[in-house]
Amino acid sequence: MDQRIATDLPEDAPPGFTAYEAIRHRLPASSRRGACRRAEHLGDIADQYDTILVDAYGVLNRGMEPIAGVPERIQTLQANGKRVMVVSNAAGFAHRTLMERYGRLGYAFDADDIITSRKTLVRQLEQEGPRHWGMIAGRHFGPDEFPPLDYRMLADDIGDYDAAEGFLLVGASEWTPARQALLIESLKRQPRPLFVANPDLLAPQEGGYSTEPGTYAHEIQDETGVEPVFYGKPYNNIFALTMERLQRETDVDPGRVLMVGDTLHTDILGGQTAGLHTALVTQTGVLADMDIDAAIHASGIAPDWILDQA
């Protein structure tokens, strides 16, 4: 482990921040340092941007409730001609499910305005040759958007693991330590590709944190040497897909595109790596209880803007 992690982490660092710092050497390098200018919310800085990319949890909503005032602010931005798009590592749910969810929360996004790590993986699978996949996902997964695939959902039969020619880690809601051990055992015997549709390590839940696909993927790499291929923030593939969708309609100046999120290691780092401006939301997301200046110093990831909320 990087010795900086043991000595320089702020005392109030939440588990998610600590976990990301532990695998910081595997994340993209920070391409530049933002000015960390401060504003209250997006309405104060929106005139500097044509397109605003937003994360979901901690920016638009917490759980099944919208963050107060944000749906109205997003509606105002859209009414003023701003393109607002969701860029999310939500891989475990079909696109139609997310559309319905955002609608219930009070947001109105066009179908093309929601870009997920799931869609980013699908783009890659459309270019892959035939292969029998071992699929790791929850029951709510649904094959929507995916091209026709030869796959089996993995559970407790080691034969299913050994028969797979590659693995798709899409969701971890029903993944268990016992199943993780089976996958590691199988990969040790025969290394095969592992595609991960959600690089997140942890997700805040009532009463604690859920373990997300990224955590399992990094453990697999540690135990087997198989290097996962990640789809989603902070990796550039999801931003390349987003910019491709934008470029279909008009010429887009990356300097007029803003990525807004509540995490330094996924939203801000990913936006910077893609050459975009970034804004960190501090009072409604995963860093709400942390000294933000200390978090920026410890991580070396500095956004262009620091906002109270979106």
pLDDT at 63: 83
Q: What does the alpha-carbon distance between residue 211 and residue 136 come to, in Å, rounded to a whole number?
A: 14
3-class state of residue 191 by DSSP: coil
Q: What are the structure tokens assigned to 124, written together?
A: 């890659």
pLDDT tens column, 64-106: 899 999 999 999 999 999 999 999 999 988 999 999 999 999 9
Whether 19 is covered by a domain: the verdict is: yes
CB 212 within 8 A of CB 106: no
Q: Which residues pair with 138 in a beta bridge?
A: none
Q: Domain tally for the chain?
A: 2
Token output for 140: 């709510």
Q: Classify 168 as helix, strand or coil.
A: strand
Residue 249 domain boundaries: 3-89+234-307
Question: What is the secondary structure of 196-211 as a DSSP string?
Answer: ES----EEEETTEEEE
Report pLDDT for 259.
Answer: 98
Angle CA 139–144–148, to nearest 5:
105
Lookup: tokens for 190: 């025969």
Which of 171, 206, 230 is the last residue before a domain boundary?
230
For residue 117, the Cα-to-chain-centroid distance in whole angstroms is 7
Q: Which residues of the chain have pLDDT under 50?
A: 1-7
**CATH (domain of 50):** 3.40.50.1000
